[in-house]
Structures are given as structure tokens and as C-alpha cells.
Chains A and B, each alone.
Chain A
């Protein structure tokens, strides 16, 4: 059929007609529903906002490449406003009303545990993409963020080599901090080190004067912080203000994952040792391409942090699962999960471990300098061996708990 005026008119007419027919709506209803629940406002939005942008970027990329199984993805985004009650509410909506094919999101471990059972009951596959304390053993959940064995063990190893054996632990007082502190204790003792003291702080504590004096009284070789959120940032500020940043070195399991280095002034955070899955300084073609695409879609790349890249990779990993399964049926997707799927993301290779449904990741050991995370060394493809100690979803597919370390 050549391009004649008649054919063009015919085509245009047919197009108009078909778009006016209910058929079009049938196509929209046929789209694949990707649910996302993140804190796009409130106290946690320093983490949540870039994660929302990352989710949208990943979904748009998949759609530009032709969607999945020939169908378009539709993103259903809910803002939980840093309020745990809203997590439960929107999880219900996503599972029951929207009937999402997958849900990606959740930031704090508290929020994950608030929604996990809802999705389990509704058989809605759930991806949690944040670094966390490890141990979730649930066939309905995929955890793509790093766990203590992946990120904290190399951190402890490097810090003990550099600075010595006596360690003071500061941690946030909820499940993340409590469990992470146990793992830190384990990794330090395993290497012949000792814990001077462990102090826990509720999320709203902002005065660390007595703690800083206590640390000096114990005079550890180094201090490790698993502190979380805006109020706890005061610790780094007060630590630097007392001049202690020049005297006792600091490592952290959380610092930098939410771009904390940008919230302190240059110099205050210099020298803090961290280990994470992602740094903007990663000099790989995949990361450069990712940064370019981000800039084209969202503009400012300085907001990108590990959590947003984790979310981005979580969506792509799920897409790979669907391609492998060739179906959106939950059982088919679970089977594909069990076959070991992997993608190449901005952080490097992300490969799913069928036994735990956690991901093996490349971990970057980094030092904060001039508000940047500068890479010192890379440990490639570290497995989630902490969770694997307790959890085997292949043998026990009905497991539905979060294991806590008993060492």
C-alpha cells in the first residue's frame, strides 16, 4: 500500500475511530501494574524523593524498550509521607484495589515489616530495595539492598586493619540499629577485636555531648555509627565541633547511603569510612550512562544516592524476572526467582540468590572527602551470607520470618 492521499486519510480515520472505541480502555486495563510506596514528603524524603524519581525512570526505560511481554507498564505511586500508618493503608490499596502485579518500595525496616504480611496474604510480589540489617526469609519478598555480611563485614575488616581492635558502636534504637550492632559485634570479635561499649539512640535524640565525653573516656581505636535520620546527623556535627574527628577515626554503616555527606559542611565528614553498593564516583560505562539518562529525565544528578539506585535496579531486576518467567503469574515469577536471575546495573552486576532471594552485589569501600564518596577498593559479588546462615527458601518455601542474629 503506497502513500496516497486516500490511504493516509483512511489510516487517520481508522486511527480516530479506534481511539474513540472502548477498545482503547481495554488496552489501558491490560497494562502491567507496578506499585510503589515511598516517602515522597516528610522527614524521610531526603531518601524517598530520589527513589520516586528512580522508580519512574526505570519504568519509563522499560516502556521505551517496548514494555514487558508486549504490554505497557503502568506505575502506581503512593506517597506515604514518612508515616508508618500510611504504609499499611496504601499496601492494602495496592494489593486489594489496584491489584498490582508487583510492589517496589519501603525505606526503613519498620516500614517493610508494616507491609510485608499484607502483600504475603494477598500474594502480591514485593521488592524491598534498601540496605538493611538482613534476615528476611519470605518467598514473597525480594531484598536487593546490601546486608551486614555484604557491606559491614568488609567495612569492619578495613577499619580494623587501619586503626585497631577496640571499637565503640553507636546505633539507632530500632530493629535496624539493634541487629546491625549485633553483627558489628560479631565481625569485630571474630577478628580478635573488642567492643568498648554499644550505645543506642532513639531517632529523635539530637544531643550527643555526654556520648562524646563517654567515647573519650573509653578511648577506642575507632568508632562505628549505625545512626539513622536527620536528628542523628547532629552527632557528626558535634563530633567535628569538638575536634574529635581529628583524633578518633569514624566508620559508618549508614552514612552516605542517603547522601548525608551533602548535609554536612565540607571538612566535617572528611575521613569517615563507609562501604556501600553505590557511589556517584563509580567510573564505569554503566554508571555514566545511568547518570546521563537521569540528567535527561530529572535534571539534578547530585540527589542520586545508593537507595535510589537500589530502587532503580530493583525494578529492572523484576523486569528480568518477568522476561525469564514469560508470564505475570505469581508462581511463574517465583519459579524464575528460583532460577537465579541477574542484571547489569549502575552499581555493577546484581544477581539474585535463589536460596535467600537476596542479591549478590559489588561493594565499594569508600572514604568521604570534600562531600564525595571516594572509592578505595571494590569487593565484587559479595553474597548475602548472613541471611543464608538461617534461610533456605528452596527447602522451606513457606518461611515467613525475619531471622535475628544469635551470635
Chain B
């Protein structure tokens, strides 16, 4: 019984991990059809920002929940203004440019922090569940993910800003003709996507540890989650995150973590073969 609860919590954690690390990418991809290959590096930058703040003696929760998203949001803003905005509508060029940016970020972080693995201590201690001892920080990540997704849903669904954003996403020409400048909307969207990625990086860093190259570990999973999810930001990431997280952990527990990853990738291939437009291209078509 305890073991079943542990398995359930680990599944929830894996779903949260996938959703959290890919939602920044989903915002940018879903709203702008821009594939940001520097997404993993945004996550990594969030982690390093948290690390730098923690070493400077700043409260770690403040660092990961406030400073990391703001810092990476500013980086995202600069990237959008200086690079991405010149390349809208040119998907291949954008991918190439953002890939170049990712190499640049890895290089810069290596120069500043060195290329050795570093860690941040987890600020929450473990807890006892029956005869099992579990990481309390996993619960924190699950909680943060639920709060973040709920906030995003409320903003997109019930606020003026969300309405405009959804409008621009469905039809930029009409949004433009109603007096909303799509360029401003894109700029803000990209910044918001980067900020959410930074938040994810800050929150996940204590569990995953940090290397300048650790962006690569996030980006593969983030991509399959977002592409399989399809264009709707929240429903897409949630539906694919739940499917992948569940299969990954169930197989991990039944066999081992390697088989878990394989099962997840096989499922992604099958789903994309059946639904090339992603899950939300077939089901829940008018969701956010």
C-alpha cells in the first residue's frame, strides 16, 4: 500500500518535471510557431541564477521563484529584440539562430562558472511515508507545477491579456486590425516563455544539479512533450506530460529507468505517427 503511494507520487513528480521543463517552450511554440532550440539553455540559466543568488546568501526560494524568472525573462527579451524578431516566419533560420545562441550561452556560463558539476542543497527535508523515506522537495515541485499551470490557465482564460494573446495566436491579422500590435504581443510572449523556463530551471536545479551542458538534458524531453502535445499550450503539455510521465515511471518501477525512457520515446513515435498535429490537433481542439 505504501509502495503504491510512493509509485503514485513518483508518477506525479515525473509528470510535473515534464510539464514544468517544457511549458516555457510550449508558450513560445504554441503562440508564435517559433521553435526555440535555446530553450534548454534558458532552463540552465535559471538554475545558475539560483545558484549564484544562493552563494550570495539570498533566500533560496526567493532566488528560484522571483530572481531566476526575472533574470531569464530579461535574457529572453534581449534575445527576441536582437535576434528572433528578425526571423519570424522563417522556421529553419530561427532554429539555426537559436541553436547558435544555445552554444553561446553554454560557452558564457562555462567561462563564468567553470564546467564542473555544481549543486544546490535541497531546501526541504525528506518525509516518512509508511516504511518509506521520500524526498520532500518532489512534493514542492508538484505543488509549484499545479500553481503555475492554474495561474496560466486563469490568465489565458479570464483576463483581457489572455484574450488578446489567444486572439493573436489564432489570427494575427485580425488581432492587428483591432489595434493590437502583433510584434509587441510576440515580444511579450517570448519574454514570458523565457521567464517560465527560468523558473523551471531554478526550481529543478537542486534535484538535477548543474552543468553548463545540462540544457541538453532538458531540451529533448521538452521537445517531445511539446510536439506530441500539439498547439494548445496548457491542454497539450498536460495531456502529453501525463501520458509520458505515467508510462516512464510505471516502466521504470517495473523494469528500470532505462526501459522507462525507451517506453516514453516509443510512445512518442507512435503518437506522432497517429496524430501528426499532436494530441490537441485531434482532441480538445478548442482548448487553451
Contact = CB atoms under 8 A, between A and B. Distances in A.
Interface residues on A, range: 35 or more
Interface stretch (A124-132, A185-193, A259-267, A277-285): A259-267
Interface string B117-160: 11111101111000111111110000000000000000000000
Contacts of B132: 213, 216
Given A206-B217, A209-B14, A238 B115 contact: no
Contacts of B3: 213, 217
Contact of B208 (A234, A244, A267): A234
A205 B248 CA distance: 13
Contact of A213 (B14, B119, B253, B258): B253
Interface residues of B, number: 43
A276 B219 CA distance: 37
Interface stretch (A27-35, A40-48, A136-144): A40-48
Contact of B257 (A46, A207, A243, A265): A207
A214 interface: yes
A160 interface: no
A231 B260 CA distance: 17
A210 B9 CA distance: 10
B117 A263 contact: yes
Contact of A216 (B124, B131, B214, B253): B131
Contacts of A238: 135, 207
A212 B258 CA distance: 15
Contacts of A42: 115
B252 interface: yes
B249 A210 contact: yes
Nearest to A213: B6
A267 B121 contact: yes
A190 B156 CA distance: 64
A38 to B, nearest CB: 14
Interface in B200-258: 206-209, 211, 213-214, 217, 249, 252-253, 256-258
A211 B134 CA distance: 12
B7 interface: yes
A230 interface: yes
A345 B236 CA distance: 61
A234 B209 contact: yes
Given A204-B217, A242-B126, A230 B117 contact: yes
A112 to B, nearest CB: 22
Contacts of A208: 257
B80 to A, nearest CB: 30
A234 B207 contact: yes
B10 A209 contact: yes
A210 B253 contact: yes
Interface in A234-257: 234, 237-238, 240-244, 247
A241 B126 contact: yes
A233 B256 contact: no
Contacts of A206: 208-209, 217
A397 interface: no
Given A216-B132, A234-B207, A263 B119 contact: yes
Contacts of A241: 122, 124-126, 135-137, 206-207
A18 interface: no
B42 interface: no
Nearest to A264: B119
A38 B45 CA distance: 28
B190 interface: no
B186 interface: no
Given A42-B115, A206-B217, A247 B133 contact: yes
B286 interface: no
Contacts of A268: 119, 121
B115 A214 contact: no
Contacts of B253: 210, 213-214
Given A46-B116, A231-B217, A263-B119, A242 B134 contact: yes
B13 interface: yes
A378 interface: no
Given A204-B217, A241-B126, A241-B135, A233 B209 contact: yes
Contact of A209 (B117, B121, B135, B136): B135
B200 to A, nearest CB: 15
Contacts of B121: 240, 265, 267-268
- Which of A234, A237, A243 is the most central at the interface, judged by chain B CB atoms within 10 Å of its CB? A237
A294 interface: no
A241 B257 CA distance: 19
Which of A46, A206, A209, A242: most chain B Cβ within 10 A?
A209
B117 A244 contact: no
A207 B218 CA distance: 12
B253 to A, nearest CB: 5
A202 interface: yes
B257 A205 contact: yes
Residue picked from A241, A243, A244, A265, most chain B C-beta under 10 Å: A241
B133 A216 contact: yes
A216 B132 CA distance: 7
A210 B252 CA distance: 6
A237 B116 contact: no
B116 A45 contact: yes
Given A207-B14, A210-B249, A243-B126, 9 more contacts: A45-B115, A46-B117, A200-B258, A202-B258, A206-B217, A230-B209, A238-B207, A241-B206, A243-B127
24 contacts: A43-B213, A173-B258, A199-B256, A200-B256, A205-B261, A206-B208, A207-B257, A209-B138, A211-B257, A213-B10, A213-B132, A214-B253, A216-B132, A230-B209, A233-B209, A237-B122, A237-B206, A238-B207, A240-B122, A241-B122, A241-B126, A243-B125, A243-B135, A264-B119
9 closest cross-chain pairs (CB), A and B: A243-B126, A230-B117, A241-B122, A242-B135, A210-B252, A265-B121, A241-B135, A46-B116, A242-B126
